[in-house]
Amino acid sequence: MDRLGAMRLIVRIADLGSFTRAAADLGLSRTAASKQVKALESALGTALMTRTTRRVALTAAGEGYVERARDILWRLDEAERLAASLDPAPEGVLRVHAPPSFGQRQLCPALKPFLDAYPKLKVEMTLTDRPVDLVEEGYDMALWIDGAPPADLAARRVGETAFALVAAPAYVKAAGAPECPADLTRHRCLVNAHFSANNQWRFTRDGETATVAVDGPLTVNNVDAIREAALAGLGVAFLPAFQVAEELRTGRLWRLLPPWTGETQGIYVVYPPSRLVPAKVRLFTAFLGERLSAQLRPRDRRSLPGGPDRPSTRG
């Protein structure tokens, strides 16, 4: 059992008051987090918390444990910060794997200040959509944007992105703009085989949810191809906001259904688990967390790019 990892998890649950949020914050699946808590409680021989569908509450033993664990973790973090400050500047090659669009639109433009700070370090980046074995293929780290990261990898959440419903102005002028999610059944939808489970798109608005089964002339497993098809006026696309931010800003794409927002996905750095994380991985992960978390945080409909609500052009 990873006792320190379980200790961090219990403290985070106490801080957030939510098992699910604490697991996500630490880059764990709910199943993996549950196993950690159960293993710790079994090792201690006592229950640390009570859980219902609505809330998590610490037991008396849990409150005492969290108080002492918090002090232990603070001292450990201080020791690590001291050790890191004495480390020589990282050098050599940092091998990174990332999805093509994210690497092109987010990682590469962000590299200059990091590499300026560490001139002896080089980044070797591979951009593909295929799954990789980090250890077998020699990667130091990877960017994960596909639900919860694998339980067998260490992970840190560095940002999140919302999905945006978009189409080219020419398409909207010809086909009209949907007024509600259900209207999408009458539109030509460009389906991303990688993100659209069972060809379903999910939306929320003020606590209300809507799921729509979509269909259209194109299904492809690459977000860049979907964006280009949307720009060509082929149909409506449902893409991560970072993927279309520039096109929305310049008006080459319009955002549709602005009262509704698409689902949000976490963006994680994942790397092989180790008690001693290499300085180059630790520093680049921290850099991305600072740079991307605010930049990619989902925004409400008033601040998403794309301008004011577009009127329907039907009829």
Asked, for residue 304, whether it belongs to a domain, the answer is: no
Q: Specify whether 46 is located in the same domain as 7.
A: yes
Greater pLDDT, 147 or 23: 23
Is the domain of 171 the same as that of 200? yes
Contact indicator for 122, 94 with CB cutoff of 8 Å: yes
- Do 288 and 158 meet the contact criterion of CB atoms below 8 Å apart? yes
In a domain, 106, yes or no: yes
Amino acid, single-letter form, for residue 53: T
Structural domain includes residue 227: yes
pLDDT in tens, 88-98: 678 899 999 99
Last residue of a domain, one of 84, 101, 125: 84
**Residue 293, pLDDT score:** 63
Q: Quick one: 178 and 233 in the same domain?
A: yes
Domain residue limits at 180? 161-264
Write out pLDDT tens, residues 96-109.
999 998 999 889 99
Are 171 and 260 contained in the same domain? Answer: yes
Are both 246 and 278 inside the same structural domain? no
In this structure, the answer to whether residues 279 and 257 fall within a common structural domain is: no
- Separation between Cα atoms, residue 199 and residue 196, nearest integer Å: 5
State whether the Cα torsion 287-293-294-295 is positive or negative: positive
Give residue-wise pLDDT tens across range 125-140. Answer: 999 988 889 999 999 9
The answer for residues whose C-beta is within 8 angstroms of residue 259's C-beta and 6 or more apart is 205, 301
The reply to whether 141 and 271 lie within a common domain is yes
In percent, the amount of the chain with pLDDT more than 70 equals 88
* Domains identified in the chain, total number: 3
Instruction: From 264, 284, 307, give the residue that closes a domain.
Output: 264
Q: Are residues 128 and 173 part of one domain?
A: no
How many residues are recorded in the chain? Answer: 315
Of 67, 84, 101, the domain-final residue: 84
In a domain, 71, yes or no: yes
Nearest to 280 by CA among 268, 293, 269: 269
Do 137 and 278 sit in the same domain of this protein? Answer: yes
Q: Note whether 200 and 213 are same-domain residues.
A: yes
Phi-psi map region of 207: left, alpha, beta (phi>0 left; psi -120 to 50 alpha): left
In this predicted model, what pLDDT tens digit does every residue of 255-268 receive, in sequence order?
A: 999 889 888 888 99
- Record the pTM: 0.65
312 belongs to a structural domain: no
Q: Do 273 and 260 belong together in one domain?
A: no
CA distances from 23 to 17, 34, 136, 277, 290 (A): 11, 9, 27, 20, 20
Highest mean pLDDT (candidates 50-64, 67-81, 230-244, 291-305): 230-244
Give the DSSP H or E segment for 16: helix 3-16
Residues 242 and 274 in one domain: no
Establish if 310 belongs to a structural domain. no
Structure confidence at residue 187 as a pLDDT band (50, 70, 90): very high
